[in-house]
Amino acid sequence: MSKLIGKNLKLILDGYDISGDENALTLDEMADELDSTAFGDSAHNFTLGLYQATTGINGYFNPATNRNHDRLKSLLGSNTGGVFSAFMGQGASPAIGDPAWGIIYVESKYSVNGSPPAMIATQAMLAGRGSARVANWGAVLKNGIATTNTSSTNAAVNNTAASANGGSGMLHILGAMTTGTAVIVIEHSTDDITYVTLVTFTVDGSAIAGEVQNVAAGAAVRQYVRARHTLSTTATITYAAMFWRN
C-alpha cells in the first residue's frame, strides 16, 4: 500500500488513546537555518544549527475523565515531560511493522476555541525534550491496541539490515493489570531465530503509563526487532509498543 488515509491513525499519549477526540496531526522535525554567507559568495549559504521536533494535535473538546481535555490541560507547563506515539495503520488498525512516529515531549501550548455554530475545538503543541534524538520514525511492534492475558512473543520487524547508532523503544500501558505484573522487553536478532534483550521497560503493567528506553548512540541494533511480554498472572493487559533506529 502506498497512499494512506488518516482514519487509521492511533494517537497515544502516555498510555492514553486520545485518537477518538482528535482530527488533525502535524509532525515536524527541523534544524535551525543559520545564514553563513560570506564575502565572495554569489548566493546565500546556510549552515544547519540545532535540531528540534514538535507535534501539533487538533481535536474536539472532551471534558470526560482521561479524555483529551483532561489529559492535555494537566500537562501544560510541566518540564517532567512524557511520551507520545502516532501509529499509522495501512488501511486497517496499526499492525506490526507499520510506520510509527514517537516523541519525548513537553507540552508548550494548549488552547480551546469555540463559537455558536461550531464544535468546541482544542489545539495542543508538544515540543521535543532532551539532549539526544527526541523524535523519530520507527515501526509498530504489536498489532493494534489489543488486550491479552497470556505471555506472548510478537512477530519481528525485519529492518533488512542491522544498524549501528542505537535507537529508542516506546511503551504505552493502556489497560492495567488488576493483579500481578508484566515484564515487557524489546529483543533483537541477526537471524530471526536467536534473540537477546535490547530494551527492558521498568513499568510493570500495574498502572496506565508511558515510557521510553534509549539504546545508546553508537550501539548496534540487529536486523530483526520484536516485543515480548511475560505476565505473572492471567489478568489482562493492554499495551502498545514501537521502536526507532537512530
| End-to-end CA separation in angstroms for the chain | 25
- Helices first, then strands: H and E counts in the chain: 1, 17
Structural contact between residues 18 and 146, judged by C-beta atoms closer than 8 angstroms: no
Would you mind telling me the total number of residues written for the chain in this entry?
A: 246
Q: What is the mean pLDDT of each run of 10 residues along the chain (246 residues)?
A: 81 96 95 95 94 95 94 86 93 94 95 94 94 90 93 97 97 97 98 98 97 95 98 97 97
> How many Å apart are CA 17 and CA 12, to the nearest integer?
5
pLDDT of 133 reads 81
pLDDT of 174 reads 97
pLDDT of 1 reads 55
Say how far residue 159 (Cα) sits from the centre of its chain.
18
pLDDT of 6 reads 84
Q: Which of 135, 73, 131, 77 is nearest to 104 (CA)?
A: 135
